Structure 1
């Protein structure tokens, strides 16, 4: 385990602004985060983790992983501003969804100009019917959701018919806790309350935030049909 984890800007800024989130639903919370640039990135409204240095390891590893899996379609859920992935020119059918309409509008305009490939639509991963895809990429998202909404999202991912889920996990983290929607905390998807099996593959993102204090930040690959059924039970579905 990594001792003395440093503070994270997304959490500190949410705490400072918490009173302004009190009456907001899920969509409004993330709209506020986008409008106020709460996550503090200069190059991407999706946060520091979406800037080029933070995505280099993923951009290197993702094409080969998709090829090994035989994935011909990818659902980016959520896609944010589609900054780093939009420049990859992946050879597959790409759909990006996000709960923030202004992000989808901007992405769709860029796609119409030929700056991005794929299609974009507004959707809430916790409740809306999702487009079909071989693989769902859910990066830097569940870390911002409550346990209840994580359970709803994973149930929804399963219902979409996708085979694989590639999701953010911190394999050396041992203290999963609940949080308000829009806040941030680390999650290890292989420990309680999730208790997922070991990931089939792990892409270490080589995270340098906090002087390397979050160097275990990774994308873990799971088959959705191998995840515990109790994820669905947690939401009463």
Structure 2
């Protein structure tokens, strides 16, 4: 009897391709519904002929290190938002849901020391109602952005800004590390480096962004600086779905995403699942 040409591996690969195609198709529908057919055709033309300044910058500078590529994005405003150089996701309107949810989360988990990493240009975070006894630390890899924040917003005993690369610089021990709209711009290896950094810091909680995976998309790799959707609950990350808190944090036509809170122990468990031994910082 001849062997079947359909092996479990080939079926799995076939499903992954179908899921990718389905996810891409849904993104096209979302874009068309919001911006119209003419804008969709224009966007397709830009991508097809390599005319996107953001994508071109990633190709040109990503091998020079994260500080270089993200500084280039900031300097040239490649995310093309007038209100915030950190992109559309950092506008006051876009962040309405997360801004309203944060005060309750900070009080529920008694957050006294809060690390915003990366803090971007502080455009929307300045509107958050922090508890009176909470100290804010904003860090970012872009030196010019930190200098601008210090000049524009000032510093005090309750607010500090500093330069820090979350993938390689030691993260200070705080009650919560808040990492919004960042990991989907990092390579898989850089995401793991950040998670390891968080665990080593012995900070209590991590609150970060993850996309809702209704389409079954796989976690693909990119060069840091680029973008793709990520699902932190799926391979290779495998963070527990038993989160401490979750907040929807997106606007149409963007892919659905949320911010979730995990304990350090939960992050450690996921890292050990991937064979990454974590030693606390001394």
Q: Which residue of 2 aligns with 1:109?
A: 151
Largest Rg, 1 or 2 = 2
Q: Report how many residues are paired.
A: 231
Larger RCO, structures 1/2 (Cα 8 Å, 6+ apart): 1
1:185 to 228, 247, 253: 228
Give the TM-score, by structure 1 length: 0.88
Q: Which residue of 2 aligns with 1:156?
A: 197
* Cα distance, 1:22–1:50 mapped onto 2, change above 3 Å: closer
* Cα distance, 1:132–1:110 mapped onto 2, change above 3 Å: farther
Would you identify which runs of 4 or more consecutive aligned residues in structure 1 move more than 3 Å? 6-9, 11-14, 16-19, 230-237
Summarize deviations over 1:163-185 as a string: whole Å, max 9, x none: 11110011225321111100011
Give the alignment's Cα RMSD to 1 decimal. 2.7
Unaligned runs of 5+ in 2: 1-18, 32-42
Question: Is contact 1:126-1:156 (8 Å) kept?
Answer: yes
Determine whether 1:62 maps to 2:102: yes
Determine whether 1:42 maps to 2:82: yes
Unaligned runs of 5+ in 1: none
Residue 103 of structure 1: how far off its partner (Å): 0.7
Residue 53 of structure 1: how far off its partner (Å): 1.2
Structure-1 separation of matches of 2:55 and 2:276: 27
* Cα distance, 1:185–1:77 mapped onto 2, change above 3 Å: same
Q: How does 1:78-227 map to 2 (within 5 A)?
A: 78-91=118-131, 92-112=134-154, 118-172=159-213, 174=216, 175-198=218-241, 199-205=243-249, 207-210=250-253, 213-214=254-255, 216-227=256-267
Residue 16 of structure 1: how far off its partner (Å): 3.7
Residue 38 of structure 1: how far off its partner (Å): 1.3
Residue 33 of structure 1: how far off its partner (Å): 0.7
User: Which has more helix, going by share of residues?
Assistant: 2
